Chain A
Amino acid sequence: MTEPIKTDILIIGAGPIGLFAVFELGLLDMKTHLIDILDKPGGQCAELYPDKPIYDIPGVPKCTGASLVDSLMAQIKPFGPVFHLTEMVQSIERIGEPAFRITTDAGKIFETKVVVIAAGGGSFQPKRPPIPGIEAYEDKSVHYAVRKMDVFKGKRILIVGGGDSALDWTLNLAPLASHLTLVHRRQEFRAAPDSVNKMLALAKDGKIDFVLGQVSAVEGEGGQLKTAIVKRNDGSSVAIACEAMLPFFGLTMKLGPVANWGLKLDNDLIVVDTEKFETSAPGIFAIGDINTYPGKLKLILCGFHEAALMAQKAHRYVFPDKKLTFQYTTSSTSLQKKLGVT
């Protein structure tokens, strides 16, 4: 059996609120591990709008999603948070008052005193293209990510999309595949121009096929894809023989396993109190966009506030015998020592 990772606090979600929670908890000497389904910290700020301006962070007239995440990462560095990326929490089991055993989809096991759910809009999952019956092929011959390239060796592959994932995998899998077709709905691409040029060169040399259009139907048997019907932009259709299809239509947010953890929910949001931001399960907190309470606003600044108050109560769970004295970072030498600024 896997040795459990022991921690004071397990934070589910490494978006801006999960990151700032590391800071507030760290000031109170609590050690944190974070789990996120994305391959990088930052949540929506990193995935949805890294380059878009944000104007409502107190004291910061203007920043971007990416620069906010960078600043938060710098701010929490002294506390040495441990990140577990591209993982999703599958189950939470209560093993004490409070203490929890958490299992991820990668098979990791954590034992933590307190759980902080900072999962925003839920977990990011690949978007399913509008192709009737595609579900039957998923994980068998339709894949939304490439885990092992070998799986595609010698296969007839169809890649759908026009972003970096679609283009990168077109370039990487073209030498391996027996035949590769890229389908995109328009001549322009979001992907890096260099990748686009390389792809067009491969198409020109006849090494791959590039078809302008959208996949409208798939045919096959027992989950094994045989043919994809592509509707070209001029209205005509073409049948493409393929054994594997890789659609890259970005990510969408789904509540995911949070719904199964037995917490009191209201409209897919976790109900918390406004004193400690604790859920209906003592020892499990929910902060940021995932929670709800009277007057809730889905603002980053509100999530920051929630993180600070949550940390006060979490401290009582993690160190039941320690008295907590309120201190300011501006004047407290002990806090400044923790921040490494003295």
Chain B
Amino acid sequence: MPKITYIDSAGTARSVNAEVGSTVMENAIKNGIPGIEAECGGACACATCHVYVDEAWREKTGEPSPMEEDMLDFGYDVRANSRLSCQIKVTEDLDGLVVRTPERQA
């Protein structure tokens, strides 16, 4: 199973094994990763699962869809590598993915 690493704003890294087809958000919630809230439960409707994709992985995770961009307007401290983790689907290609969580979600 692909491995995903979440690094919080204090620099603590936590890695989990993620099922292909699940989302980066779902794996965070399932494993109790702090820093991801996912208030809306994955409907791309709240921007509280906001993460920064590690520069080395930006090409593989791709760009946010227009709907996701709209939601990112509501995110906290949005940057060029911001994504909503509920919109990143885990694939074999993403084995080793590194995302950082912002200081807070809302």
Contact = CB atoms under 8 A, between A and B. Distances in A.
A binds B: yes
Interface of A: 44, 48-49, 52, 121, 127, 129-130, 161-163, 184-186, 188, 190, 214, 249-250, 252-253
A163 B73 contact: yes
B47 to A, nearest CB: 7
A190 B73 contact: yes
Contacts, number: 44
B69 A48 contact: no
B78 interface: yes
Interface string B42-64: 01111110000000000000000
12 contacts: A44-B40, A129-B76, A163-B73, A184-B73, A185-B78, A188-B66, A188-B69, A190-B73, A250-B73, A250-B74, A252-B46, A252-B106
A185 B82 CA distance: 12
A49 B106 contact: no
Nearest to B78: A185
Nearest to B48: A252
A249 B105 CA distance: 12
Nearest to B75: A249
A252 B39 contact: yes
B70 interface: yes
Nearest to B41: A298
Nearest to B104: A130
B95 to A, nearest CB: 30
Going nearest first, the 9 A-B pairs with the smallest beta carbon separation are: A252-B106, A250-B74, A130-B77, A49-B45, A190-B70, A48-B45, A52-B43, A49-B43, A130-B76
B13 to A, nearest CB: 23
A44 B39 CA distance: 10
Interface of A is mostly: loop
Contact of A185 (B40, B43, B73, B106): B73
A250 B39 CA distance: 13
Contacts of A48: 39-40, 43, 45-46
B70 to A, nearest CB: 4
A129 B66 CA distance: 21
Contact of B74 (A121, A249, A253): A249
Nearest to A163: B73
Which of B69, B73, B77, B103 has the most chain A CB atoms inside 10 A of its CB? B73
Contact of A162 (B39, B73, B103, B106): B73
Interface string B73-89: 11011100000000000
Contacts of B103: 130
Contacts of B45: 48-49, 52
Contacts of A185: 73, 78
B50 to A, nearest CB: 11
B52 to A, nearest CB: 13
Contacts of B40: 44, 48-49
A163 B47 CA distance: 14
B73 A161 contact: yes
Nearest to A214: B78
A186 B73 CA distance: 9
A186 B103 CA distance: 22
A121 B39 contact: yes
Contacts of A186: 69, 73
B69 to A, nearest CB: 7
A127 B74 contact: yes
A190 B70 CA distance: 6
B64 to A, nearest CB: 11
A141 to B, nearest CB: 22
Nearest to A47: B45
